[in-house]
C-alpha cells in the first residue's frame, strides 16, 4: 500500500493477502466480546439462528456489493459514490459511513484496551501481584481505560502510517489459526466441567418464542458489525483489490471465517457462563446478566484461573494477546476508512492524515474511557442502527443508480463465467428486493 509521504494508492500483495486483511477486519471483538454477550442477554439459540440468517441472507450480498463498488472506483467511500454517479446524495452516505467508523472506533479501542490489559492480568495473577492484577481488571477505572486505549490507538496509527498490507497480512495469517486452536482447546476443557451441558442447550436449541422484533434488529446490527459492513470499510479494502480476484468467492471466504469464529466463541463462552454459575459465581441477577459490557472479561479469566498453574497462565496470556491482535486488525480497518477519505479527498499525505484522524478519535475514546456507559449508546446508534442504514443505502445505490449489471460486469474480472452462474441471477434479487426490504422492515418494526 501507499508509502509514508505519498498520496499514491497501493494494492494487496496477493489474493490470500486480501482475504486475510478482510478477514482480519471482520474477526475481532465483535466475534468474541459482542456476539457471545448478545447471545447470553438476548435469546440464546434463537439469537444464534437469527444472526446466521442475517449474515448469509443480508450481510453476504451487501459485502459483495461493497467490494464491487470499491474495486470499480478505486476510492474511499465518499470518493467511490462520487465517481460512480453524478448523484449528489450518495457521497453523503459515504460520509455517514466515515462518521460511523470514527464513532465505533472510539469505543472499540476502550474494549480492545480491556483485552490487552487482561493479558498482563494473567501474568500478575500467576505471580500473586494482586494490586497490579486488580488495577488491570477494573474496567470502571477511567484513567486505566484511557491509558490502555491510547496505547492501542497509537499502535493502530503507526501501522496505518506504514501502509497496511504487510503488517495485517502477516499478523492475520498466524493469528487466525492460533486463535481457533486455543478456542477449541478451551471448549474441550469447558465441556468436561459441571454445568456445561446446560449452556450448550441454551446456545444450540432455539426457543422460537424469544424471536422478537428487538432480537431481530439486534442480530442484524451484530451481523453488519461483525462482517465490518455498512460503513465503507469493504469499499475501501475493495479499492486496493486486484482485478484478477474473484469477488463473490473472496466475500464467501471472509463471511465463513467470521461466522466460524463467532460460532466457536459462543460455544466457548455460553457454556463457560453456566459452569461459572454452577460453581457459585454470580453472573445472573434474577434472569438478567449481572454485567453485559464486560461479561466476557469476567468469564474468561475465571476460566483460565480455574485451569490454573502454568497451563492456565500460558493459555490466558496467549488468548488475550491473540484477541488484542484480532482487535488490532479490526481497528486498522476502522481507521483506514477516514484516513483514506482524507488522503483521497483532501490530498493530505498519509502520515499526516493518520495522526490527525487517529488523535482526533482518541479524544472521543478518552471520553468513552471515563464514561463506559456510552459504549452501549454508541453501539446502538452507530452499529445497530447506523450500519444497516448504510447497508440499505448501498443496496439502493447499486440497484437503482450504479445498476447491478455494472457490478456484475466489474465482477467478471476475476470471475469470467459469472454471467452463466446462478449467483448472477440471484444476487441482483437480493440487492433490489430482499436486503433493502428486510433491513427497512427490521428497522421500522423495531421502533413500532
**111-119, 136-144, 187-195, 221-229 -> range binding ligand TRP (CB under 6 A):** 221-229
| Shortest distance, position 229 Cβ to ligand TRP, whole Å | 6
| Shortest distance, position 5 Cβ to ligand TRP, whole Å | 26
**By CB under 6 A, how many residues form the interface with ligand TRP?**
16
| Shortest distance, position 30 Cβ to ligand TRP, whole Å | 2
Residue 404 CA from chain centroid, whole number: 26
Cβ distance to ligand TRP smaller for residue 193 or 340: 340
Binders in 332-361 for ligand TRP, by CB under 6 A: 333-334
Query: Helix 213-226 to helix 44-54 angle, to the nearest 10 degrees?
Result: 60
- Which contiguous run of DSSP H or E holds residue 282? none
| Shortest distance, position 328 Cβ to ligand TRP, whole Å | 11
Say which DSSP state 164 is in: S
Residue 99 CA from chain centroid, whole number: 16
Binders in 371-400 for ligand TRP, by CB under 6 A: 387
Binders in 91-110 for ligand TRP, by CB under 6 A: 104
| Shortest distance, position 256 Cβ to ligand TRP, whole Å | 14
**Closest-approach residue to ligand TRP (CB):** 30
**200-208, 228-236, 343-351, 397-405 -> range binding ligand TRP (CB under 6 A):** 228-236
Choosing from 47, 51, 96, 225, the residue that interacts with ligand TRP (CB under 6 A) is 225
The three-point CA angle 336-337-342 to 5° equals: 95
**145-153, 173-181, 184-192, 326-334 -> range binding ligand TRP (CB under 6 A):** 326-334
Choosing from 161, 231, 339, 357, the residue that interacts with ligand TRP (CB under 6 A) is 231
Is 70:241 a contact under the CB 8 Å cutoff? yes
| Shortest distance, position 234 Cβ to ligand TRP, whole Å | 8
Nearest-angstrom CA–CA distance, 57 and 441: 14
Cα distances (angstroms) measured from residue 156 to each of 21, 326, 354, 417:
14, 12, 9, 40
Cβ distance to ligand TRP smaller for residue 30 or 94: 30
Cα distances (angstroms) measured from residue 83 to each of 10, 125, 266, 408, 420:
18, 55, 41, 17, 29
The answer to whether residue 31 forms part of the interface with ligand TRP (CB under 6 A) is yes
Cβ distance to ligand TRP smaller for residue 333 or 424: 333
**Which SS3 state, helix, strand or coil, does residue 93 take?**
helix
Choosing from 156, 330, 366, 442, the residue that interacts with ligand TRP (CB under 6 A) is 330
**157-165, 224-232, 236-244, 340-348 -> range binding ligand TRP (CB under 6 A):** 224-232
Nearest-angstrom CA–CA distance, 351 and 345: 15
**111-119, 246-254, 272-280, 330-338 -> range binding ligand TRP (CB under 6 A):** 330-338
Question: What is the separation, in whole angstroms, between the first and last Cα of the chain?
Answer: 46
Nearest-angstrom CA–CA distance, 101 and 378: 11
Cβ neighbours, 10 Å, residue 89: 12
Residue 260 CA from chain centroid, whole number: 13
CB-based contacts of 391: which residues, under 8 Å, 6+ apart? 58, 62, 224, 229, 230, 435, 439
**172-180, 223-231, 247-255, 406-414 -> range binding ligand TRP (CB under 6 A):** 223-231
Choosing from 17, 30, 79, 338, the residue that interacts with ligand TRP (CB under 6 A) is 30
| Shortest distance, position 97 Cβ to ligand TRP, whole Å | 8
Return the HEC string of 175-233.
HHHHHHHHHHHHHHHHHCCCCHHHHHHHHHCCCHHHCCHHHHHHHHHHHHHHCCCCCCH
Choosing from 26, 98, 103, 362, the residue that interacts with ligand TRP (CB under 6 A) is 26
**24-32, 148-156, 372-380, 416-424 -> range binding ligand TRP (CB under 6 A):** 24-32
The answer to whether residue 22 forms part of the interface with ligand TRP (CB under 6 A) is no
Cβ distance to ligand TRP smaller for residue 112 or 313: 112
**Which SS3 state, helix, strand or coil, does residue 28 take?**
coil
The answer to whether residue 28 forms part of the interface with ligand TRP (CB under 6 A) is yes
Residues engaged in binding ligand TRP (CB under 6 A): 25-26, 28-31, 104, 225-226, 228, 231, 233, 330, 333-334, 387
Amino acid at each position: 500500500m501507499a508509502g509514508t509521504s505519498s498520496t499514491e494508492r497501493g494494492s494487496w500483495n496477493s489474493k490470500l493477502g486480501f482475504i486475510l486483511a478482510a478477514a482480519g477486519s471482520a474477526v475481532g471483538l465483535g466475534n468474541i466480546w459482542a456476539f457471545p454477550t448478545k447471545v447470553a442477554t438476548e435469546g440464546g439459540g434463537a439469537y444464534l439462528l437469527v444472526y446466521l440468517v442475517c449474515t448469509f441472507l443480508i450481510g453476504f450480498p451487501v459485502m459483495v456489493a461493497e467490494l464491487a463498488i470499491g474495486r470499480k472506483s478505486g476510492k474511499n467511500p465518499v470518493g467511490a459514490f462520487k465517481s460512480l454517479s453524478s448523484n449528489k446524495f450518495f457521497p453523503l452516505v459515504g460520509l455517514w459511513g466515515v462518521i460511523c467508523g470514527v464513532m465505533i472506533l472510539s469505543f472499540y479501542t476502550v474494549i480492545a484496551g480491556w483485552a490487552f490489559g487482561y493479558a498482563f492480568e494473567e501474568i500478575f495473577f500467576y505471580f500473586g501481584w494482586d494490586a497490579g492484577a486488580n488495577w488491570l481488571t477494573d474496567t470502571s477505572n477511567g484513567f486505566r481505560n484511557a491509558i490502555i486505549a491510547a496505547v492501542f490507538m497509537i499502535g493502530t496509527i503507526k501501522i496505518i502510517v506504514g501502509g497496511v498490507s504487510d503488517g495485517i497480512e502477516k499478523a492475520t495469517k498466524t493469528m487466525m489459526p492460533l486463535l481457533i486452536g486455543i478456542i477449541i482447546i478451551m471448549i474441550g476443557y469447558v465441556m468436561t466441567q459441571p454445568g456445561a451441558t446446560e449452556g450448550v442447550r441454551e446456545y444450540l436449541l432455539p426457543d422460537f418464542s424469544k424471536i422478537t422484533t428487538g432480537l431481530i434488529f439486534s442480530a442484524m446490527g451484530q451481523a453488519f458489525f461483525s462482517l465490518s459492513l455498512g460503513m465503507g470499510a469493504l469499499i475501501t479494502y475493495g479499492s486496493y483489490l486486484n482485478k484478477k480476484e474473484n469477488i463473490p468467492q473472496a466475500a464467501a471466504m471472509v463471511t465463513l471465517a467470521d461466522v466460524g469464529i463467532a460460532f466457536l466463541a459462543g460455544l466457548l463462552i455460553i457454556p463457560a457462563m453456566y459452569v461459572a454459575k454452577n460453581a457459585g459465581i454470580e453472573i445472573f441477577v434474577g434472569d438478567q446478566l449481572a454485567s453485559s459490557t464486560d461479561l466476557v472479561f469476567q468469564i474468561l479469566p475465571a476460566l483460565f484461573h480455574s485451569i490454573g498453574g502454568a497451563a492456565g497462565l500460558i493459555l490466558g496470556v496467549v488468548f488475550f494477546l491473540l484477541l488484542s491482535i484480532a482487535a488490532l486488525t479490526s481497528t486498522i480497518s476502522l481507521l483506514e476508512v477516514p484516513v483514506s477519505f482524507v488522503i483521497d479527498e483532501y490530498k493530505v499525505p498519509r502520515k499526516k492524515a493518520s495522526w490527525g484522524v487517529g488523535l482526533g478519535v482518541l479524544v472521543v475514546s478518552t471520553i468513552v474511557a471515563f464514561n463506559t456507559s456510552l459504549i452501549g449508546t454508541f453501539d446502538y446508534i452507530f452499529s445497530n442502527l447506523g450500519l444497516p442504514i448504510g447497508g440499505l443505502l448501498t443496496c439502493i445505490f447499486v440497484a437503482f443508480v450504479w445498476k447491478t449489471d455494472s457490478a456484475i460486469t466489474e465482477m467478471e474480472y476475476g470471475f469470467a463465467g459469472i454471467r452463466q452462474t446462478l449467483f448472477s441471477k440471484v444476487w441482483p434479487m437480493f440487492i433490489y428486493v430482499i436486503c433493502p426490504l428486510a433491513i427497512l422492515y427490521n428497522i421500522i418494526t423495531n421502533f413500532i
